[in-house]
């Protein structure tokens, strides 16, 4: 019996609407379903509702921060987290990586690098559908 794979769901949590729209536009062509969240609380609800395959999130947003990232890790064990921030420093990066963030980008981010990282982290979940 052939089993259908579950859809690939990318959660984009970013409080800046323009940045969130840009990320959605850039990553949509990967053939994934995209869920959006404007703050940490909304992102946590989306994790429970949508069961994302990968989470792309801003660090500093309402209900955000490293505690929020740790809660994401608790609610979505094993789901890769890609962190974006405009306020990065070596300690923040080290702390984020220590709590399980797979990739960390300072803003402004190079979209080609971000997209490559997302592709790599989604890997087999994309079913070979890489543009």
User: Could you read off the pLDDT of 93-122 as tens digits, one per residue?
Assistant: 999 999 999 999 999 999 999 999 999 999
Longest Cα–Cα distance of the chain, Å, equals 51
Task: Name 130's Cβ contacts closer than 8 Å, sequence gap at least 6.
Answer: 30, 119
Q: What is the pLDDT of residue 17?
A: 97
Full domain range(s) for residue 32: 9-112
Q: Residue 41 carries which DSSP code?
A: H
Residue 97, helix vs strand vs coil: helix
Residue 18 lies in a domain: yes
Residue 29 lies in a domain: yes
**Cβ 32 vs Cβ 122: under 8 Å:** yes
Residue 82 lies in a domain: yes
CATH of the domain at 50: 3.40.50.2300
Residue 32 lies in a domain: yes
Residue 131 lies in a domain: no
Residue 130 lies in a domain: no
Residue 33 lies in a domain: yes
CA 39 to chain centre: 13
Residue 2 lies in a domain: no
Mean pLDDT of 28-46: 94
Number of domains in the chain: 1
| Res 56 pLDDT > 50 | yes
Mean pLDDT of the residues in the chain: 90
């Amino acid at each position: 019996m052939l089993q259908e794979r579950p859809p690939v769901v990318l959660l984009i949590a970013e409080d800046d609407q323009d940045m969130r729209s840009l990320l959605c536009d850039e990553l949509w062509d990967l053939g994934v379903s995209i869920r959006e969240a404007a703050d940490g609380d909304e992102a946590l609800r989306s994790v429970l509702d949508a069961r994302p395959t990968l989470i792309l999130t801003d660090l500093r947003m309402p209900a955000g921060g490293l505690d929020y990232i740790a809660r994401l890790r608790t609610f979505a064990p094993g789901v890769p987290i890609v962190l974006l921030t405009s306020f990065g420093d070596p300690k923040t990066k080290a702390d984020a990586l220590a709590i399980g963030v797979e990739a960390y980008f300072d803003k402004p981010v190079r979209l080609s690098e971000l997209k490559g990282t997302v592709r790599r982290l989604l890997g087999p979940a994309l079913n070979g559908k890489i543009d």
